Amino acid sequence: MGNKSAQINRGLFPNIIESEPTICYYCFGDDMDRDTFKLIHSELIMQVQTIEYDLKLIYAAMKEGDFEENFAEIENANMGKIIKELRELDYSDGHPDLSEKDYRLLNEIREIRNYWAHQCYLDFVYIQDDDLREERFQEIAERLHYDENRTWALHEKMQALRNKKIQEYRD
C-alpha cells in the first residue's frame, strides 16, 4: 500500500482496503477442482461487495456537500438505485468518469452477484449421476472464471476511481 492509500484507510474511510495482486488459480480449459472453485467464488463475492461499497463512497465524494451526509443518504439503498444516482451525478458535468460499458457491467453485476450468492451450488449439487454432476460443475466453473475476470477489471477501475474521488474530496 502506498502512503496515500494508507492515509485514506486510517482517515475518514477506515473500511476501505486495497486489493492484493491477482494470482491465477485456474487456467481456462482445465478442469477446476472444488477447492479452487470455492477460492475463486469467494474472490468474486469479495469483488462485487467492494464494488457496491465503492459506488457508495464514490457517490458520497462526488456529490456536493458533506461526505458523511451524502453517504448516509445512499448507505442503505439497493445497488440499482446506487447505480442510477451515481450515473446521473457522473454525467451531470458532461465528463463522466465511467463509460456506458461500465454502467452496463455494473447493472450486470447485480445479476452476477445474485447468481453466485443464491444459485450456483444448487445448479449442480443435487444431480445424482456423478458424471453429469461433474460435467455441470465444470460448465459452472467456466462461468465462474468468466464472471470473476469481468468483475476483477471493474473492481480495479472502481478502486482507482474511488481513490481519485476521495482525494479530490479531501483536497
pLDDT at 142: 93
Q: What is the CA radius of gyration of the chain?
A: 18
In this structure, what C-alpha cell is assigned to residue 6?
A: 494508507
Separation of first and last alpha carbons in the chain: 20
Which pTM value belongs to this model?
Answer: 0.76
Q: Is the pLDDT of residue 166 over 50?
A: yes
Q: Is the pLDDT of residue 85 over 90?
A: yes
Q: Is the pLDDT of residue 9 over 70?
A: no
Mean pLDDT of the region 102-127: 92
Whole-number average pLDDT of the chain: 83
Asked if 120 contacts 150 with a C-beta cutoff of 8 angstroms, the reply is no
Question: Per-residue confidence at 4, pLDDT binned at 50, 70, 90?
Answer: very low
Mean pLDDT of the region 90-98: 92
Q: Which of 8-22, 54-68, 94-108, 123-137 bottoms out in mean pLDDT, i.e. has the lowest?
A: 8-22
Query: Nearest CA to 79 among 58, 107, 57?
Result: 107
39: Cβ contacts below 8 Å, ≥ 6 apart: 25
| Highest mean predicted confidence (pLDDT) among 2-6, 36-40, 97-101 | 36-40
